[in-house]
Amino acid sequence: MTDKPRAADPESTGSAPGGSASAGKAGEEPRVVIRNKRKITETARPDAAAADAGTDVPAEGLVEEAEVVVDEIQVEAAEAEAGPPVVDAPAEPVDAAAATSLGAELEALRAELDERTRDLQRVSAEYANYRKRVDRDRGLVTEQATGAVLAALLPILDDLDRAREHGDLVGPFGAVAEQLTTALGKFGLTPFGEKGDPFDPTLHEAVAHQTSADVTEPTCVQVMRRGYQIGERLLRPALVAVADPE
C-alpha cells in the first residue's frame, strides 16, 4: 500500500510555536523598536506577524519586560545625576589656641589703628598751625611793606600839618592835601597826638617837661609832631611836651 504524503510537521519546518515564525528568509530574528517607552515587535515580514492572532501574546510579554527595564534605567540615571545625598557635616570644635591667636591679632590691629589715628590727628594739627603761621607771616610782610611806603610819606604829611597851622592850606592845595590824607587812611594809616591827651610813654615821646596846676596827671600840653599807626602797629611816636601836676 502506497503511503499518502504526510503534511509538513511544524517542528520539522523550523517554524516557531503559535505560527509566529516568519515565512521569509531563514535566520531572520524579530526586532524590538523602543519609542517613547512603547515597544513594537515587528518581523522582517509584517505579513507573517499578522498571519496568526495568537502570535501577539509573546510579543506583548516582551514589551512589558522592556518597559520595566527602561524604567529602571531611567531611575538609575536620575539618581546618578542627583549625586549622593547631602549630609550635614558636624560642627568642628573650636580650637582654644586658634581663638587666642585671633584675639591677639585683633588687639594688634586695633592698636595699630589707634596709632595711625593719632598720627593723622597730629599731622592735621601741625598743618593747621602751619596754615595759621603762614597767614600771619604773610599779613606781617604786607604790613611791613605798606609801613615802609607810608613812612617815606610822613615828612610830606608833617609839612601839610605845618601849612595847616599857619593857614596856608587853602584852595586847590588844601583839596589835594585832603585827598592824600584820605587815600593814606585807606591803607590803615591813623594819626594820633592831640593837645590835652594823657601822656602814654608807649605812644608819645616827651621832649619837654613842666608842672601845671591845671592837670591831675601827666598830660600832653603841646604836640610838636604827630604820631602815626598802621592798625595796632606803631609807625612813629608823637613828639610832645608834657605837663606834670604840681
Q: 100 vs 68, which has greater pLDDT?
A: 100
What pLDDT, on the 0 to 100 scale, is given for residue 172? 87
- Residue 33: strand, helix, or coil: strand
231 neighbors 209 (Cβ within 8 angstroms): no
Q: 63 vs 206, which has greater pLDDT?
A: 206
Q: Grade residue 155 by pLDDT with cuts at 50, 70 and 90.
A: very high
Most confident region among 38-52, 89-103, 210-224 by mean pLDDT? 210-224
What interhelical angle do 96-165 and 171-185 show, nearest 10?
Answer: 170
Q: CA angle 97-102-108, nearest 5°?
A: 125
Asked if pLDDT for residue 235 goes beyond 60, the answer is: yes
What are the tens digits of pLDDT across the range 164-202?
Answer: 888 888 888 889 999 999 999 898 899 999 988 999 999
Asked if pLDDT for residue 245 goes beyond 60, the answer is: yes
What is the torsion angle, in degrees rounded to the nearest 10, for the CA atoms of residue 61, residue 62, residue 65 and residue 67? -110
- Outline where 14-95 has alpha helix (H): 46-49, 56-82
Joined together, the cell numbers standing for residue 2 give: 502506497
Strands 38-42 and 31-35: antiparallel
What are the tens digits of pLDDT across the range 34-80?
Answer: 444 444 444 444 444 444 444 444 455 565 666 666 677 776 667 66
pTM above 0.75, yes or no: no
User: How is 191-242 classified by DSSP, letter by letter?
Assistant: EE--TTPBP-TTTEEEEEEEEETT-SS-EEEEEEE-EEEETTEEEEPEEEEE
What pLDDT, on the 0 to 100 scale, is given for residue 50? 43
192 neighbors 223 (Cβ within 8 angstroms): no
